[in-house]
Structure 1
């Protein structure tokens, strides 16, 4: 029987800081079919970077604590809110929400709950070995995460791999007359351990040895911001390294870049590479997590091993040295983003999983073949 009112789908986030998971949650919440689903965002910490856009899109926001860090007051607020206003469907995102959200939902008998794994270290950080059974099913954004969950004993039919989506009408290549005239290597990434900015900064020394006009732009915020900036300030090529804070609209940075780069040691399926590809940029990145599924070597970019500054530096320098190859890769990257990573496809697949969970149905095993191959 069809529901008379839309199902309340509560997304539990750590905060609304500028970040990949927050951006994907926002895009999903804004695009869900409101005749079927009524999205809400609950936040454990009071950081509001994306709040204006969420509010403008009509998404109700609940701040479970007045502090910018998760603490006892955040968890007490979550316990009270779950008890007072249990959702029809509960979807925690990132590590802390997945841990405490699932534990509290289980203790209060909330059903259904959808666990999520979105980053390369998520399964370990979220203690999935012990907590995987506290949700009805999982959504992951990269095939390696699905394989890891299944290897831990999670039934394949309870794991759905849904790649991130990118708004290819918003992230558009600049006109030909606006091509960058400088050799900007752009890293738009949170300053945290997973992104390994140290390797990137060291690799840039190899880049400058071959391309003396190159510039490295670091865009982001995060817990390691000070240490990363210190590393950059101590680099022999520090005069060519710039640092900028995160921004809700990264398009001006992409428009001025020649190459998008990530030096990560752990990843899910990084939004920043999808956005770069949609804007016609070739990618130089490490072959970790879901990146090899996203980047086609020698077609849309180049891959190299993690924690190898020389290999990454040579990869970047090679792209900067060959404009024709770089432009051809950028065109192919745009085509791949449009063909395989549309926002519409991402939203529709989430809606299917949400509807199955609300109906108490298991996802068809065929839907998870990609995770098992």
Structure 2
């Protein structure tokens, strides 16, 4: 009888966000006859705890609220000794730093993860990749960066994010039949460069004053962005909504999905938008060009170029048929290349191989 592997996902938090949601979907889909997923956060309970527990995932915390637990780096050692996983999978920067350090010290096999364009720098990958048994990244661009830092190809696996194409389904009516609403679902953080999006939106409103921008998410930039909206007349057309686990309602109302990031891995929200049949206007950074084929399923521009982003949005607004065609192309690509089944199978293969190498 095969041993069930206890896999610990070490997270900074379980707030609404692309990495958190993707790791939760991975954990809930792992084959329970082979894997027992556990989630440990550096904070207290947050947004997605309930969904994790509903999926039968054990959830543990080092803190009591949304702030990092005091001396979390020291408390983490005791938690790892208590939970004693067969494989440790740290996600995001702080877990990837301290999880690797304690994992190596305690003799735990660590599968490091690199997600997001700033991941290699924030996680000090030039030095800390050596503390891992294996590494997983979620974009080909990150794969190239990591191999350039010295990570051997045999130590690194690229696994694309997955999307539930049955859950995120396109409407029967063409998206061009909807009111002119732009949608951005993202964490309100500096990497997303929302001010460039706001400046592009101001240009669009000059020609189409009826256009609105729906911004869904939470994060440290929230106060700054709301202050910009309050000080500029175009801000009257921006609607802010907090993050939530189910955002299908917003995809179903939007006409164009927009993302103005300066750094990215492989944004899960782009997969959801494409699966929902929305044309995309985004920046050509990180793994985005791997997802969105410029001129086929969306339009890409350089980061920080609000004029180019506005021109692409205006092009889709002025040519509804083009937007409908790009949305349909995105849906076909999501179905063909980014299924959850392929993502989970690839992770299970890595986890099993790492555990087998370390088994006495």
- Alignment TM-score > 0.5, same fold: yes
Q: 2:211: which partner in 1? A: 214
Structure 2 length-normalised TM: 0.97
Work out whether residues 136 and 157 of structure 2, in 8 Å CA contact, stay in contact via their aligned partners in 1. Answer: yes
Q: 1:91: which partner in 2? A: 89
- C-alpha separation between the residues in 2 aligned to 1:53 and 1:306? 34
- C-alpha separation between the residues in 1 aligned to 2:177 and 2:319? 14
- C-alpha separation between the residues in 1 aligned to 2:142 and 2:174? 41
Indicate which of 13, 16, 32 corresponds to 1:15: 13
- For each residue in 1:21-48, what CA deviation from the matched residue of structure 2 results, as whole angstroms up to 9, or x when unmatched? 1101110011101111111101110142
Q: 2:102: which partner in 1? A: 104
Work out whether residues 211 and 321 of structure 1, in 8 Å CA contact, stay in contact via their aligned partners in 2. Answer: no
> Where does structure 2 lack aligned partners over 5 or more consecutive residues?
none
Structure 1 position 314, deviation (Å): 0.7
Aligned pairs, how many? 358
Q: Are residue 50 (structure 1) and residue 38 (structure 2) matched?
A: no
Q: CA RMSD in A?
A: 1.4
- C-alpha separation between the residues in 1 aligned to 2:286 and 2:83? 37
Q: 1:143: which partner in 2? A: 140
Structure 1 segments (4+ residues) deviating >6 Å: none
Where 1:186 maps in the other structure, the secondary structure is strand
Work out whether residues 185 and 217 of structure 1, in 8 Å CA contact, stay in contact via their aligned partners in 2. Answer: yes
Indicate which of 304, 307, 310 corresponds to 1:307: 304
Structure 1 position 322, deviation (Å): 0.8
Structure 1 position 211, deviation (Å): 2.0
Structure 1 length-normalised TM: 0.93
Q: 2:33: which partner in 1? A: 35
- For each residue in 1:43-100, what CA deviation from the matched residue of structure 2 results, as whole angstroms up to 9, or x when unmatched? 1101421111111110001111213222434223311011223210000000010001
- C-alpha separation between the residues in 2 aligned to 1:125 and 1:177? 41
Where 1:360 maps in the other structure, the secondary structure is helix
- For each residue in 1:173-200, what CA deviation from the matched residue of structure 2 results, as whole angstroms up to 9, or x when unmatched? 1231887531001011111010000100
Work out whether residues 282 and 301 of structure 1, in 8 Å CA contact, stay in contact via their aligned partners in 2. Answer: yes
> Where does structure 1 lack aligned partners over 5 or more consecutive residues?
362-373
Work out whether residues 16 and 244 of structure 2, in 8 Å CA contact, stay in contact via their aligned partners in 1. Answer: yes
Q: 2:131: which partner in 1? A: 134
- C-alpha separation between the residues in 1 aligned to 2:52 and 2:239? 30
Q: 1:235: which partner in 2? A: 232
- For each residue in 1:292-340, what CA deviation from the matched residue of structure 2 results, as whole angstroms up to 9, or x when unmatched? 0000111100000000111111111111111111111111110100000
- C-alpha separation between the residues in 2 aligned to 1:181 and 1:33? 40
Q: 2:155: which partner in 1? A: 158
How do 1:68-87 and structure 2 match up within 5 A?
A: 68-87=66-85
Q: 1:65: which partner in 2? A: 63
Q: 70-79 or 146-155, which moves further after superposition?
A: 70-79
- C-alpha separation between the residues in 2 aligned to 1:178 and 1:207? 19
- C-alpha separation between the residues in 2 aligned to 1:162 and 1:177? 32
Where 1:144 maps in the other structure, the secondary structure is helix
Work out whether residues 194 and 264 of structure 1, in 8 Å CA contact, stay in contact via their aligned partners in 2. Answer: yes
Q: Are residue 324 (structure 1) and residue 318 (structure 2) matched?
A: no
Q: 1:288: which partner in 2? A: 285
